[in-house]
Chain A
Amino acid sequence: MTRMTTSIEKNHQGVALMVLLENRGKKSLFMAHMIAGLPTISESIQVAKALAKGGADIIEVQIPFSDPMADGPTIAVACEEALKKGATVKKALEVVKKVAKFKKPVVVMTYANPIYRMGIPKFIKTISNAGAVGLIVPDCPFDTMEGWSLLATCKAAGIALIPVVSPGVPKERLETLAKDATGFWYCTTRQGITGATSVFASDLPAFIKTLRSTSELPVAVGFGVKSKKDVKDLSKVADIVIAGSVFVVALKKNKKISAVEKTMSQLKL
């Protein structure tokens, strides 16, 4: 993992992620996803706390966007609700800052337009100051003007720009991405969108093998992770298992934040 070490060595939180990954032994880590502003801005901080208490190793904070193209209905509707209740990018970034205080590495996820609108340098500076270690932007490929700008700005700030890939992405493309990727690969369990189903692609293990042959970066796997069995199955091939929609569902169903902690601890191996 030499690449990751060099890319994020200046960043205190980044070191935490790196140490975490290097010392995990054979156990895979768990990245839990949440939406800043769901159910409300202040309560979403409690959701993060519940995830941390429930055993999440890394927390992924999604900054809501009106039209989340890679998200299934569960998260898309939840983002819409968060926005309706007054979430804004600025307020969501305050949430990131508070969540980072729970001593778990925080990865920010959002879409290209909110970042572009704020301005790439300002956005990266804000999440860096907030203590985030990584950034995921599923609709901004590295080889675009904004992708290049994000890569350079993230590198300078010690933030990992994490690529999202899926079974079916050809090896030549992975090799191109690998040249610039930092942190870890975010590998989806199949082609498609978040949440939808727990049916993982049959070529997922082979694809992860290709990923590993392409670079030394750790591999995080998510999309449709709903049960302990899913976590168990994926941890055989993944360094990090990711779940998200399952917590949104738990929160909605029970209307209590404690349900998030319970769900998290039930999923954790």
Chain B
Amino acid sequence: MTERETFGGAYIPEMLWETLQQLIAAFEKAKRDPEFQKEFRDLLKNFSGRPTPLIFAERATKKLGGAKIYLKNEGANHTGAHKITHCLGQGLLAKKLGKKMLIAETGAGQHGVATATVAAKLGLECVVFMGNEDIRRQRPNVFLMERLGAKVIPVEYGSKTLKDAVNEALKFWMENLEKAHYCIGSVLGPKPYPEMNRYFQSIIGREIRSELQEREGKLPDVVVACVGGGSNAIGSFYDFVPESSVRLIGVEAGGIGKKVGQHASRKIAGVLGIFQGYKSLFLQTDDGQIAPTHSISAGLDYPGLGPELADLYQEGRLELTYALDTEAVAAVDFFAKLEGVISALESAHALAHVIKIAPKMKKDHIIVATLSGRGDKDLFNFARAFKDKSFRDFLKDEYNRYD
């Protein structure tokens, strides 16, 4: 990359062109429309429960012995993660566009549950695509989506994870352009999705700024967030991009090793490519095939980096690093015991990095880590990771209680 690359764009079949033009127009209009802004703010406050708290992790700070640690608890949102914010924004736009249905892809199930929730709230139909592998990992969320009235369609081919769910959602959209809005769940996909979801999610960073101002009277020194596609990350970072004193650190899924298929880190092996409508860094083979990925957290198990994050990474504004599966699990435990917060496995990647850097920082420095979601959805995965025998027995008993 000698010349500066332009990330993003709209690499899409022509049949999507008109629909995306309409979406761009609706989004631009919404930005200036006081009515839209009012509705959006109202839903964030009175439905999702914003602003979310900024927790001072006092015991963790003491234990690690370095920088002051704050946790931006996006898990306090309705449905348990930050995802609902861009779902509400897109749901409102879909209504303005006269659409009757929301389509979503989901990895961990958080975006699926959030979309199904918003669809129910706004009176829209909902179809969610989810890889079979993820359905296996996150069955409880499938159950919840169905209770919310959504139709969950398993994706049976490819790697059967998040990227394949995006493929299938895109295809279904192309078959239902008139009726449906595709509510993409991260800051990726063709224009205007990366900018649009960042626009909705950047409330996270604005809240961090004002909450910290109130408590500490200053800016954070470091903001840390996990990065799959990057919606909670860019949401947390965006307001601080112009503040050169604030380090922005994205933590990717280091999985179980550095070989192809063992992780989902673009820092380790991302190469410039074009995929799912946008140009960015992707995990891919020398042949240009999208590579398999691995992460203990379904939400980070995705090969592409949101293009605006790729841009910040390229210009050196954003640092990328990774945490291993085991480090993420340990971080959940650490913050659960010390702070009474059970993090989602995705967010735990950010927490794992906090554990690494906080001790090396000065005591008057401040780290804010975004807790993108709470860990309820990972109950079964945690139980397995901790080899919890009593939970295993419970599942057996529960199984026997059926029929």
Residue numbers of A with Cβ under 8 A of B are 65-67, 69-70, 72-73, 76-77, 80, 83, 88-90, 112-118, 138-141, 144-146, 163-166, 168-170, 173, 177, 188, 191-193, 196
14 new A-B contacts, CB < 8 A, other than A65-B289, A168-B177, A173-B18, are A67-B290, A70-B174, A72-B171, A83-B289, A117-B271, A165-B14, A165-B15, A166-B14, A168-B18, A169-B15, A169-B18, A173-B17, A191-B15, A192-B171
B116 to chain A, nearest CB (A): 24
Please tell me if the beta carbons of A69 and B289 are within 8 angstroms of each other in the complex.
no
Instruction: Give CA–CA (A12, B93) in the complex, Å.
Output: 52
User: CB within 8 A of B288: which of A118, A141, A146?
Assistant: A118
| A141/B12 contact (C-beta < 8 A), A66-B158, A66-B289, A89-B288 known | yes
Instruction: Give CA–CA (A224, B316) in the complex, Å.
Output: 48
| A140/B14 contact (C-beta < 8 A), A89-B288, A113-B274, A193-B175 known | no
Instruction: Give CA–CA (A89, B289) in the complex, Å.
Output: 9
Please tell me if the beta carbons of A144 and B13 are within 8 angstroms of each other in the complex.
no
Please tell me if the beta carbons of A117 and B170 are within 8 angstroms of each other in the complex.
no
A210 to chain B, nearest CB (A): 13
Residues in B whose Cβ lies below 8 Å from that of A192: 15, 171, 174-175
User: CB within 8 A of B18: which of A118, A145, A170?
Assistant: A170
Residues in B whose Cβ lies below 8 Å from that of A163: 14
Residues in A whose Cβ lies below 8 Å from that of B164: 67
A185 to chain B, nearest CB (A): 10
B6 on interface, CB distance cutoff 8 Å: yes
**Closest 6 pairs between A and B when the two form their complex, measured CB to CB:** A117-B288, A114-B288, A166-B15, A192-B175, A66-B289, A112-B274
Q: Which residue of A lies closest to B272 (CB)?
A: A116
B163 on interface, CB distance cutoff 8 Å: yes
Chain B, range 273-301, C-beta contacts under 8 Å to A: 273-277, 282, 284, 286-290
B47 on interface, CB distance cutoff 8 Å: no
How many A-B Cβ pairs are below 8 Å?
A: 110
B11 on interface, CB distance cutoff 8 Å: yes
Please tell me if the beta carbons of B175 and A89 are within 8 angstroms of each other in the complex.
no
Instruction: Give CA–CA (A221, B263) in the complex, Å.
Output: 42
What is the interface residue range for chain B against chain A?
20 to 34
Contact string against A for B residues 1-31, beta-carbon threshold 8 Å, 1 for contact and 0 otherwise: 0000010011111110110000000000000
Please tell me if the beta carbons of B167 and A69 are within 8 angstroms of each other in the complex.
yes
- In the complex, 21 of the A-B residue pairs with CB atoms within 8 angstroms, ordered by the A residue number, are A66-B158, A69-B171, A73-B157, A89-B287, A89-B288, A113-B284, A116-B274, A117-B271, A117-B286, A118-B288, A144-B10, A146-B11, A146-B274, A164-B13, A166-B13, A166-B15, A169-B17, A173-B14, A173-B17, A191-B15, A193-B175
Instruction: Give CA–CA (A80, B160) in the complex, Å.
Output: 12
Chain B, range 212-271, C-beta contacts under 8 Å to A: 271
User: CB within 8 A of B6: which of A83, A145, A173?
Assistant: A145
Residue among A113, A169, A192 with max Cβ neighbours from chain B (10 Å): A113
Please tell me if the beta carbons of B157 and A76 are within 8 angstroms of each other in the complex.
yes
Residues in B whose Cβ lies below 8 Å from that of A70: 13, 171, 174
Residues in A whose Cβ lies below 8 Å from that of B12: 139, 141
Residues in A whose Cβ lies below 8 Å from that of B273: 113, 116-117
Instruction: Give CA–CA (A173, B164) in the complex, Å.
Output: 29
Residues in B whose Cβ lies below 8 Å from that of A90: 287
Please tell me if the beta carbons of A113 and B10 are within 8 angstroms of each other in the complex.
no
Q: Which residue of A lies closest to B19 (CB)?
A: A168
Residues in A whose Cβ lies below 8 Å from that of B174: 70, 191-193
Chain B, range 333-369, C-beta contacts under 8 Å to A: none
| A113/B177 contact (C-beta < 8 A), A67-B158, A141-B12, A193-B171 known | no
Instruction: Give CA–CA (A168, B11) in the complex, Å.
Output: 18
Instruction: Give CA–CA (A76, B6) in the complex, Å.
Output: 29
A162 to chain B, nearest CB (A): 12
B302 to chain A, nearest CB (A): 12
Q: Which residue of B lies closest to A169 (CB)?
A: B14
| A141/B11 contact (C-beta < 8 A), A67-B163, A83-B289, A193-B174 known | yes
Please tell me if the beta carbons of A77 and B157 are within 8 angstroms of each other in the complex.
yes
Instruction: Give CA–CA (A115, B286) in the complex, Å.
Output: 11
Please tell me if the beta carbons of B13 and A69 are within 8 angstroms of each other in the complex.
yes
Residues in A whose Cβ lies below 8 Å from that of B9: 144-145
Instruction: Give CA–CA (A163, B14) in the complex, Å.
Output: 8
Residue among A73, A114, A115 with max Cβ neighbours from chain B (10 Å): A114
Instruction: Give CA–CA (A138, B170) in the complex, Å.
Output: 14
Instruction: Give CA–CA (A114, B273) in the complex, Å.
Output: 9
Instruction: Give CA–CA (A202, B157) in the complex, Å.
Output: 31
User: CB within 8 A of B287: which of A77, A114, A145, A146?
Assistant: A114
Instruction: Give CA–CA (A196, B175) in the complex, Å.
Output: 10
Residues in A whose Cβ lies below 8 Å from that of B177: 168, 191
Instruction: Give CA–CA (A196, B163) in the complex, Å.
Output: 21
Residues in A whose Cβ lies below 8 Å from that of B288: 65, 89, 113-118
Instruction: Give CA–CA (A118, B174) in the complex, Å.
Output: 28
User: CB within 8 A of A139: which of B277, B289, B290?
Assistant: B277
A131 to chain B, nearest CB (A): 22
Instruction: Give CA–CA (A161, B286) in the complex, Å.
Output: 25
A123 to chain B, nearest CB (A): 10
A79 to chain B, nearest CB (A): 10
